Amino acid sequence: MPIADVIARSRRKWRQIASSELALPGKIAYCFDSALGFFRPPLRTGHRKYRLKGGARVLLRENSTDRKVFDEIFLEKTYAGFAEADSRPDVAAAPLILIDLGANVGLSAIALARQLRPQGIVAVEPDGASFAMLQQNLRLAGLSERSKAIRAFAGAERGFAELVDSGNGAWGMRMGACVRAGIPVWRIEDLAAVALRLFVGVNAPARILLKCDVEGAEAQIFQSLACWDHLVERVILELHTEFFSAASLRRCLDASHYLWRIEGEIAPDAVLAVIALERGELKTTPQTQRAAVS
């Protein structure tokens, strides 16, 4: 890479670090480690710990995709534009619950928790090594008391599935074939029930935000949307169009009992798009009314 490009990338990265949620010691350490990464691949193994503002810390694995995930979430702020707190008077008083599907090492849950202050967090991650890091990071961020980590996949039906390595590192692990014993598959409605029972009470009003980054498994999750659309008010979705096209998503939204609004753009040639879905009013057609009641 030409030296001019390296300098331009470095400046952009340092500006992002300067405006990030990292505390000053964390900014200095992250700048140093990032500068080394421009000129050579990381040589160390083990972990690096960085301090965020307010005293929370995050732990990243060396020689992994953890730093790329951190850059996306904390520097590029991928989810920030889609995670505004709801200020409508009729719902603002209800507690917010975050369900994070594809939580990886916990960075998305931590970033969203710092922005939205949810009453509780259910973080779902199938990969064993990432799940162990997820638990550590929730503890280091001071979220242990109001979070529940579950090692599982999210899907349309209960069961078990294999974990498949897509070849993209720890952030690209996918749900494989169904098996008789393996990593459990949880339905959205089951995860919501756990979240409500743990953090607000089974029959208490709550707003559920679903963050969904499941490497293509969104196809079967959204094909069962009518089973859980009454539970979730907002979805932050990383859409992998290779497995689930924008047209397929719109058909699932059309089959929902509710009207849904899409925030963000899905380019015609996009392989990946981050969008938000906001649940609106209950549809008034007789067919959907009967389905909602049943």
Which domain CATH number covers 161?
Answer: 3.40.50.150
241 in a domain, yes or no? yes
The beta strands (E) that lie in 120-252 are given as: 120-124, 147-150, 153-154, 159-165, 173-179, 183-186, 207-212, 234-240
Structure token digits, residue 211: 């963050």
Chain segment 254-284, per-residue pLDDT in tens: 999 999 999 999 998 889 999 999 999 999 7
Residue 290 reports pLDDT greater than 60: no
Chain segment 147-162, per-residue pLDDT in tens: 999 999 999 999 999 9
Query: Does the global pTM surpass 0.75?
Result: yes
Structure token digits, residue 47: 């972990």
Specify whether 172 is located in the same domain as 224.
yes
Specify whether 43 is located in the same domain as 183.
no
Portion of the chain with pLDDT greater than 70, in percent:
87
Specify whether 31 is located in the same domain as 149.
no
Residue 87 reports pLDDT greater than 50: no
Residue 169 reports pLDDT greater than 70: no
User: What mean pLDDT do residues 184-210 have?
Assistant: 94
243 in a domain, yes or no? yes
Give 91's Cβ-side CA count (13 Å radius). Answer: 15
Specify whether 185 is located in the same domain as 156.
yes
Q: Residue 6 sits in which domain range?
A: 1-63
Structure token digits, residue 162: 């294999």
Residue 294 reports pLDDT greater than 90: no
Q: What angle do CA 272, 274, 275 make, to 5 degrees?
A: 130
Specify whether 110 is located in the same domain as 179.
yes
Boundary of a domain, candidates 63, 86, 109: 63
Specify whether 33 is located in the same domain as 95.
no
Range of weakest confidence among 21-30, 175-184, 185-194: 175-184
211 in a domain, yes or no? yes
Q: What is the DSSP letter of 236?
A: E
Residue 85 reports pLDDT greater than 60: no
> So what's the pLDDT on residue 293?
40
Residue 292 reports pLDDT greater than 70: no
71 in a domain, yes or no? no
The residue that leads in pLDDT, 177 or 219, is: 219
Please report the sign of the dihedral spanned by the C-alpha atoms of residue 217, residue 223, residue 229, residue 235.
positive
Find where tokens 């989810």 sit. Answer: 79
> So what's the pLDDT on residue 241?
93
Chain segment 94-137, per-residue pLDDT in tens: 999 999 999 999 999 999 999 999 999 999 999 999 999 999 99
Structure token digits, residue 1: 């890479």
Number of domains in the chain: 2
> Ramachandran region of residue 283, left (φ > 0), alpha (ψ -120 to 50) or beta?
beta
69 in a domain, yes or no? no
> So what's the pLDDT on residue 8?
79
Confidence of residue 82 (pLDDT cuts 50, 70, 90): confident
Boundary of a domain, candidates 63, 93, 114: 63
Confidence of residue 250 (pLDDT cuts 50, 70, 90): very high
Specify whether 37 is located in the same domain as 91.
no
SS3 167: coil
Residue 91 reports pLDDT greater than 60: no
68 in a domain, yes or no? no
70 in a domain, yes or no? no
Specify whether 283 is located in the same domain as 137.
yes
3 in a domain, yes or no? yes
Specify whether 58 is located in the same domain as 86.
no
Contact assessment for residue 243 and residue 264, using Cβ atoms and an 8 Å cutoff: no
Specify whether 40 is located in the same domain as 87.
no
User: What mean pLDDT do residues 226-232 have?
Assistant: 96
Q: Could you give the CA distance from residue 39 to residue 211 in angstroms, rounded to a whole number?
A: 34
Specify whether 51 is located in the same domain as 128.
no
